[in-house]
Structure 1
Amino acid sequence: MSAESWKIVLPCTRLEAEALASATDPFPTMDEPPVLNTLEPDETRPEEWLLEAYSEGQPTAETIAAVQALVPSAARIKPVVEKVEAQDWVTLSQAGLEPIRAGRFYVHTSAHADDIPEDATVFHIEAGRAFGTGHHYTTTGCLMMLDRLKRQGARHAMIADVGTGTGLLAFAAMSLWPRAHALATDIDPVSIEVTEENADANPIDRSRLALAVAEGVDHDLYRQLAPFDLVIANILAQPLIELAPSIAATLDAGGTLILAGLLNTQADAVAGAYRREGMRLADTIRNGDWSILMMRKRRRVR
C-alpha cells in the first residue's frame, strides 16, 4: 500500500469475527475493498473481538458505512478511523500464524518450516491474499473430515473444490487419492492466482488439477468433468442453500459431499436443502461454533 494507509476499527462479537473469516467477498460492489483483520484483544473476554479494516487512502463515508454494516453489534458505535504506517496488511495479519495439525495434515507458513512432524502430510500455505490457510475452524474441520473419509476406506477419482480459497482442501484430497483428478474453483480471481502459487510450492501433480474462476459450479469445466464422486464446498450457509440444486447435480450417485462455512445453528437448514436434492446426512464434525457436514447422494433404485 501507499504511505496513505488508513485503519477503521470497530468492536465485534466472536461469532461476527468468525463469520467474516469465512466470507469470500464481503464487499462485492467495491473495486478496491478494504483489507479485513479480526483479533481477540483480551483472552479473558473471549466474546469481545475487534474488526480492523485497512484501506489505501482515507476511507470515504460509504466505505466506513460498508465496514460497519459487517458487524451489526456495533451499529450504534462510532468507528475509530486513523492513519497508519503503510504495510501489506493481509500478509501482516496472518504472519504470526502457528502451524495447524488436523488428522494426518500439517499446514505451516515459512516461519515454521524447520519443525515439521515426520508422520504428517505437509502443506506449505503462506499467509497471503486469500482465505483458507487452515487456521479457521471450517478449513480445519474439512481437513479432519477428509482424513476421516480416508481412514474409513473411501476411494475417490474425481474431486471438486467449490470456493477453494488457497487450494488447500483440493491439495489435501489429492494427497489422499493421488490418482484422482481435481477441479478447484473460486468466485475470486485472486484465489485462483494464489492456488496456482501454492500448487507450485507444494508437491501437487498439476496435470491432475484444473483451476477456474467460477460462481458456484457455473462453469464449462463442471459440465465437462461431472459427475464428481467427491465435492467439497467450504463457503457460507446461505450460498450453500442457494447452490444446493446445482452442487447436488454435479455429484455422481453414491457420491460424497463435504459442506462447511456454516454455524452449528445453521446446520439443519443447510442439511435440509441437500436432503431435498436426494442426499442424506452421513457424518458431522463440530469444530467450535462451526459444523462440517458430510452428505451422500442416494443411489437410484431401478
Structure 2
Amino acid sequence: MAPGETTWKLSLFAPKPTVQAALLAHDLIDDWDHELVIAGREVAEDRPDEWVLEGWYPRKPGKAEEAALGGLFEGKTPRITVEELPPADWVTLSQHNAPPIRAGRLHVHTPDYPADRHAIDFVIPASQAFGTGQHKTTAGCLEMLGAMKASGVIARNIADIGTGTGLLGFAALALWPRALITLTDIDPVCTGVVEENARLNGIPMGAGAGEAVMIVADGMDDPLLEVRGPYDLLIANILAGPLVSLAPDFAKAVSPGGNLLLAGLLAGEQEAVVKRAMARAGFRMAARLQRGDWAILWLRRRRQW
C-alpha cells in the first residue's frame, strides 16, 4: 500500500476471542491476497473484551474481499462496515506523537519527545515502516534483548528479520556493539527508512563489526543473508504464520546453541502452534514474556539433533 494513495478500510466488530480466532485462521492461509492487510485490536483501552478486525485494501473492496474477511470467522460473520479513507500514510499517522517507552536500559521516542541521557536512547520518527517501539511486541522484544544481555548471552553475528524501522537491530547492536548485524525486510520502503534512522542514531552502515547491512528479502531467501550466517542471535518480530513456515530455515541459519527471539504472535493458540514448529526444528524454550495479548519467546537451538 503506497503512501498517498486512497485506502479502503473494512471493519468487523466482535468479542476478543472471536477476533483472535480469526487472526489465527488468517495465519494458516497460504494464498491470502497480500494487498488485503489485516490487524486486530481493542476497540478502546477501557473495553478490553471488545475487539475489531480491520482490513485495508488499495481499491474499493468487492464481494471477494468481504468474503475473504468473513470467511475467517466460524459461525455467524459479524457485520462488515466499509469506509473510504483519504489519501494518507496510515502507518505514519498511527505512530505520530506516540509516547516514549522504556525497556530496561533502552529508551525509544519519536522526535516529539526529548532524549533520555541516562539510557541507551533511540529516536525513531513515525515512518512508512512498522516498529517505533510502541507496539507491545516491539517493546517486549526490547525487554527480552536486555534480559539476554544480562544473562550473559554473547552475540557476535546478529540478524533481524522483518526489521521495519531497524529499531530491534539497532538495539541489539547497542547491547553487543562489536557484532556483525544483518537487517532484512520484504518491503523495499524499509531500506530508506532504516538508513535514515541509522543516521539519526549514529549507527554505521557497512559490512564490518559494529556496522549494519540492510537487505530486501522475503524471509530467509537471500544469498547474502545466507553467506553472512550462521547467526548466534536471530530476531523475527513478524507474524505467527510466517514464523511457522520459516522454522526450518531458522534452524539452518542459527548456529548450534544460538538464540532465536520471536514475536508477533498472540498468546494461546498462535503461541502453541509456533512453539510446536520450533520444537520440530530443533529449538527449545529459554524464556517467555507476555505483554498484553502478545507472547515474546526466547528459544535456543539444540546443540545436538
TM-score by length of 1: 0.82
Which of 293, 298, 302 aligns to 2:297? It is: 293
Change (3 A) 1:36 1:90: farther
Q: Is the 8 A contact 2:160 2:234 kept in 1?
A: yes
Q: Which residue of 2 aligns with 1:260?
A: 263
Alignment pair present for 1:43 and 2:45: yes
Deviation for aligned residue 1:174: 0.5
Residue identity matched to 1:293: L
Deviation for aligned residue 1:67: 5.2
Q: Is the 8 A contact 2:124 2:132 kept in 1?
A: yes
- Find the residue that maps to 2:265 and give its secondary structure: strand
Deviation for aligned residue 1:204: 0.7
Deviation for aligned residue 1:270: 2.3
Change (3 A) 1:276 1:212: same
Correspondence list, 1:39-188, <5 A: 40-51=42-53, 53=55, 58-66=60-68, 68=70, 72=73, 76-112=77-113, 114=114, 116-188=115-187
1:242-265 CA distances to partner (integer Å, 9 max, x unpaired)?
211111111112211112222222
Residue identity matched to 1:184: L
Which of 189, 214, 217 aligns to 2:217? It is: 214
1:207-239 CA distances to partner (integer Å, 9 max, x unpaired)?
221111222212101221111111111122232
Q: Which residue of 2 aligns with 1:272?
A: 276
Change (3 A) 1:200 1:277: same
1:39-69 CA distances to partner (integer Å, 9 max, x unpaired)?
6444332121345555566444444445555
Alignment pair present for 1:244 and 2:247: yes
- Find the residue that maps to 1:143 and give its secondary structure: helix
Alignment pair present for 1:226 and 2:232: no
For structure 1, the residue ranges without an aligned partner over 5 or more in a row are none
Q: Is the 8 A contact 2:195 2:205 kept in 1?
A: no
Change (3 A) 1:253 1:105: same
Change (3 A) 1:12 1:105: farther
Return the alpha-carbon distance in structure 2 between the equivalents of residues 100 and 214 of structure 1: 29
1:260-296 CA distances to partner (integer Å, 9 max, x unpaired)?
2222223343233323333322111122222222122
Deviation for aligned residue 1:92: 1.8
Residue identity matched to 2:277: A
TM-score by length of 2: 0.82
Q: Which residue of 1 aligns with 2:287?
A: 283
Residue identity matched to 1:271: K
Return the alpha-carbon distance in structure 2 between the equivalents of residues 7 and 269 of structure 1: 29
Change (3 A) 1:183 1:67: same
Deviation for aligned residue 1:202: 1.7
Q: Is the 8 A contact 1:35 1:53 kept in 2?
A: yes
1:153-203 CA distances to partner (integer Å, 9 max, x unpaired)?
222111011121221111110111111111111222223332223222222
- Find the residue that maps to 2:183 and give its secondary structure: strand
Return the alpha-carbon distance in structure 1 between the equivalents of residues 103 and 63 of structure 2: 42
- Find the residue that maps to 1:159 and give its secondary structure: strand
Q: Is the 8 A contact 1:174 1:182 kept in 2?
A: yes
Aligned length: 294
> Percent identity among equivalent residues?
43
For structure 2, the residue ranges without an aligned partner over 5 or more in a row are none
Change (3 A) 1:12 1:228: same
- Find the residue that maps to 1:257 and give its secondary structure: strand
- Find the residue that maps to 2:128 and give its secondary structure: coil
- Find the residue that maps to 2:112 and give its secondary structure: helix
